[in-house]
Amino acid sequence: MVASPEVCRMNGAKSKGAVTERGKAIASRNATKHGLLAEKPPILVSEDLETFQGLMQNLVDQYQPTGAVEWHLVQTIAMCIQRQNRLWVAEAAIGNAQLLPPVAKPSTDETYPLLKPTEQDERWSVFHPHNLRRERKLLTWFIERNQREHFPTERRSRYFADIWKDWIESTLQDLNQFKNEYPTDGIPGKPGDTLALIDQEQFSSRYLSWLRDLCKMQHPFAECWFYGITLKNAAPPKTKGLWDYYAQTHTTILETCQKRIEQIEQIEQKIQQERDRYQSELIARQALTASPIPQSIALLSRYESHIAKQLEQAIRQLQNLQKERQHGGSMGSFGQNSDRHAASATASFTSQ
């Protein structure tokens, strides 16, 4: 036999929630399946949904809400707690923004500037990624084309003069291509092309002086430039000492090019490490100083008071409703008193 609606209401009013372990487990599973916040709670994208759902479930386990009004008040408590936490995050972000120093720019920006100083021109510096790639590619090409094993060794051959001549022509051709394609515009101290148009003699003098300075630093461009001058009129070596000199010079040129490749790789690695460090620290600082609400101290204070008041009212109203339900308050016909009390509580809360 089915109980009447009035009996069902009276039994529901006397219920104090789940008692058995099975009942509590069912109530726990249903914790986030009821109410307006069940499917899509209004939290920020930076806030964790699982954390909020865990908070909601803990509140449900604590208060064991029954009916739409009690569920609404439990959800109100959860949102007030969530908003208070949001307020604390905002307050910490404002303080961090004032206390934390700015993230240091990559140190390689000054050590290896991508652009030349503005007082010179606006072309890329020798440390610009494009120039570094071009330089490394050209150096690698030259080394592969002029391996130490390619140097003429048939000194006692009757055809050595022809072999030497062919080697000189091939090497000079590679050296000319090397000089023409080398990214020298970014190298400090190079005289500008405008000077070459105005005073060719002065340009040549400054250009040679610049090359000598680069030679002192063992720069591969200058080394190869002077190496080409040496080979241009080089006759086949007739003595072992002269042959050894040319062989050693050729080996030194290749070693200089290889050292420059290693320097470029180290520079690129340092630049990338500093950029990664800068981005990582910048993201970390932004996370510490990101405020989810407007950065106004006065607004934060009013916001905090408003949330605290809402939270206090929601807890008080929920406790009053549950006390009346759990102590078997007067129901009247079909629970009219309880419904009237719930409507009054809802109206009181929504008016805040």
Residues 276, 107 contacting (CB under 8 angstroms)? no
pTM for the whole thing? 0.52
Give the range of the structural domain holding residue 122, as residue numbers without chain letter.
Answer: 109-288
Tokens 């050729």 — which residue? 250
| Same domain (yes/no): 162, 277 | yes
Final residue of a structural domain among 257, 288, 319: 288
| Same domain (yes/no): 156, 183 | yes
Evaluate whether residue 150 is within a structural domain: yes
Half-sphere CA count of 189, side-chain side, radius 13 A? 11
Evaluate whether residue 330 is within a structural domain: yes
| Same domain (yes/no): 272, 130 | yes
Give the pLDDT of residue 208: 92
| Same domain (yes/no): 161, 259 | yes
| Same domain (yes/no): 60, 120 | no
- Closest C-alpha among 151, 329, 113, 339 to residue 253: 151
| Same domain (yes/no): 40, 171 | no
| Overall number of domains in the chain | 2
| Same domain (yes/no): 266, 211 | yes
The 10s digit of each residue's pLDDT in 156-204 is: 788 888 999 999 999 999 999 999 999 887 788 888 777 767 788 888 8
Evaluate whether residue 214 is within a structural domain: yes
Evaluate whether residue 104 is within a structural domain: no
Give the pLDDT of residue 286: 82
Q: What is the C-alpha separation between 282 and 289, in angstroms, rounded?
A: 10
Evaluate whether residue 234 is within a structural domain: yes
Contacts of range 173-179, beta carbons closer than 8 Å, 24 or more positions apart: 174/142, 174/145, 174/146, 175/224, 175/227, 175/228, 175/231, 176/228, 178/138, 178/142, 178/224, 179/221, 179/224, 179/225, 179/228
Per-residue confidence in pLDDT tens, the chain, 352 aa: 444 545 444 554 555 555 555 555 545 545 445 555 666 788 888 888 888 888 989 998 988 888 888 888 888 889 889 888 888 888 788 778 777 788 788 877 777 776 655 444 445 677 788 888 999 999 999 999 999 988 998 877 888 889 999 999 999 999 999 999 998 877 888 887 777 677 888 888 888 998 999 999 999 999 999 999 999 988 999 889 999 999 999 999 999 999 999 999 999 999 899 999 999 998 988 887 776 665 565 576 777 788 888 888 888 888 888 888 777 654 444 444 444 444 444 444 444 4
SS (H, E, C) the chain: CCCCHHHHHHHHHHCCCCCCHHHHHHHHHCCCCCCCCCCCCCCCCCCCHHHHHHHHHHHHHHHCCCHHHHHHHHHHHHHHHHHHHHHHHHHHHHHHHHHCCCCCCCCHHHHCCCECCCCCCCCECCCCHHHHHHHHHHHHHHHHHCCHHHCCCCCCCCCHHHHHHHHHHHHHHHHHHHHHHCCCCCCCCCCCHHHHHHCHHHHHHHHHHHHHHHHHCCCHHHHHHHHHHHHHCCCCCCCHHHHHHHHHHHHHHHHHHHHHHHHHHHHHHHHHHHHHHHHHHHHHHHHHHCCCCCCCHHHHHHHHHHHHHHHHHHHHHHHHHHHHHHCCCCCCHHHHHHHHHHHHHHHHHHCC
| Same domain (yes/no): 141, 228 | yes
Tokens of 209: 């002086």
Q: What is the C-alpha separation between 335 and 5, in angstroms, rounded?
A: 10
| Same domain (yes/no): 316, 265 | no
Give the pLDDT of residue 169: 94
Give the pLDDT of residue 263: 93
Give the pLDDT of residue 108: 79
What are the backbone dihedrals phi and psi of residue 124, each rounded to the nearest 5 degrees, phi first? -60, 145
Q: What is the C-alpha separation between 288 and 286, in angstroms, rounded?
A: 5
Evaluate whether residue 142 is within a structural domain: yes
Q: Is 238 exposed, middle or buried (0-12, 13-18, 19+ CB in 10 A)?
A: exposed
Q: What is the C-alpha separation between 81 and 37, in angstroms, rounded?
A: 14
| Same domain (yes/no): 94, 113 | no
Evaluate whether residue 307 is within a structural domain: yes
Q: What is the C-alpha separation between 273 and 269, in angstroms, rounded?
A: 6
| Same domain (yes/no): 176, 264 | yes
Q: What is the C-alpha separation between 124 and 275, in angstroms, rounded?
A: 19
Give the pLDDT of residue 37: 62
Give the other-Cβ count within 10 Å of 32's Cβ.
17
Final residue of a structural domain among 272, 288, 304: 288
| Same domain (yes/no): 153, 253 | yes
Evaluate whether residue 191 is within a structural domain: yes
Final residue of a structural domain among 288, 320, 342: 288
